[in-house]
Amino acid sequence: MWVRVARALRALRRAALLLPLALTALALLLLPRPPPLAPSPRSPSAPAPPREEPHVQIQHLDVVTEPEYVVGHEDVSTHLPWFMRGGEHRPWQHEPDAKLFPEDAPGDDRVVQQLMYTLPKNENVPIKKILLANGFGAWGVAAGRTEFVRNKCPVDRCTLSSDTRDAATADAILYKDHHTPFNVKRPLTQIWILYYLECPYHTASLRPSSVDVFNWTSTYRRDSDIVAPYERWVYYDPLVTEKDLDRNYAANKTKKVAWFVSNCHARNRRLQYARQLSRHIQVDIYGACGSHHCPRTDPNCLEMLDRDYKFYLAFENSNCRDYVTEKFFVNGLQHNVLPIVMGAQASEYAAVAPHNSYVHVEEFANPEELANYLKRLDEDDNLYNSYFKWKGTGEFINTYFFCRVCAMVHANERRQRSAHYSDVQAWWRDGACTRADWRAAQRDTRDNG
């Protein structure tokens, strides 16, 4: 009997020990299931393949086209190229077929591709000598390799000289605005580059003996061999061209249109257009051509745009192909004001400007029609603010002109490319500008064709 009692007591003790475990398991089964773990922030994306026209061959990923990098949301790591703020991505592999020259990508300025070009890492690459025919002062650079090493150019195997004794041995000679011949025999492989900053109306004509001696051009025009734009806009992500705004750009602005101008006799009759516009909407003209005054050296003048005005007349002094200057990029886009533009054709502004960031005068039949649209924008904050959604989607980059010159000189030799302008003056001037608007010029062309 005592044996049976002892066994029963041992069974009860085992049950008492197992009961808490059973209750804990039951409680765990009854608890709601936790949500799945959120994925950790992704690592920097691999460069996205470039978007190109159907007839253009896709390039390898180490060569940035327009552009070949991705920026995610604010909580995602960025992957920016070396020429953008904070960018560290550099070309790591030589791409022999990179689209560097005008014939490689017609209609493209190829600035990004040139900045992301590099040479093979396993070769002892010779140093190329670039002679500055106008001297260092005209360019603001130092002698030797300083410009290339200091800027960490992907292709830095170049040196700069201003010594005329190098004219017979230099790999390239860069002429600014005019051609001054050297009395030495020119090597067959030497590259002569003609650089123009201003438009054809404001550059001197070359002598007849100089029109057929240049291999390359370097100007703001997108069909130049080395494009030298006044500014260059690059998106962080080419698929993200606008973002939600966190402010109202129309708030507290009480004035309509402003314009800073000193040349009252521009060939495109911009002053006459502005005066016609002023008959229908308030236009405050500052400088020699108007009744308002604000010294050009006074920083408050441009701050006034941010504070008081909704619109700014970013009118160039000439209507010339691809001619878009700091009047648009700096006075306009780099302030919180909507630029009204005149100068290059509408399609050419679209090629260089952030998406939906300006209003072109030739979108309207006349100044009165433009004024009516500006009044509509003035009365509709949502519509007005739609022109600022590009802000924060990219940045204006340093185009590192001499880095690109060095890269191109090396690439030219590797491809054994031969280029020559039979008449650089005709290329630069013929059909490049119009004294009327572009619509009238196109009508004249059709009528005469």
Annotated active-site residue 53? The verdict is no
76: left (phi over 0), alpha (psi -120 to 50) or beta: beta
Distances in Å between the Cα of 323 and the Cα atoms of 131, 151, 212 are 27, 28, 24
Cα 165 versus chain centre, distance = 37
CA distance 181 to 165: 13
Active-site residue, selected from the candidate residues 52, 198, 242, 413: 198
The answer to whether the beta carbons of residues 257 and 231 sit under 8 Å apart is no
CA-closest candidate to residue 241, choices 382, 386, 378, 377: 386
Q: Within 10 Å of residue 21's Cβ, how many Cβ atoms? A: 9
Distances in Å between the Cα of 355 and the Cα atoms of 234, 235, 337, 388, 392 are 11, 10, 15, 9, 12
Tokens 């010594």: give the residue: 163
Give catalytic residues, as residue numbers: 198
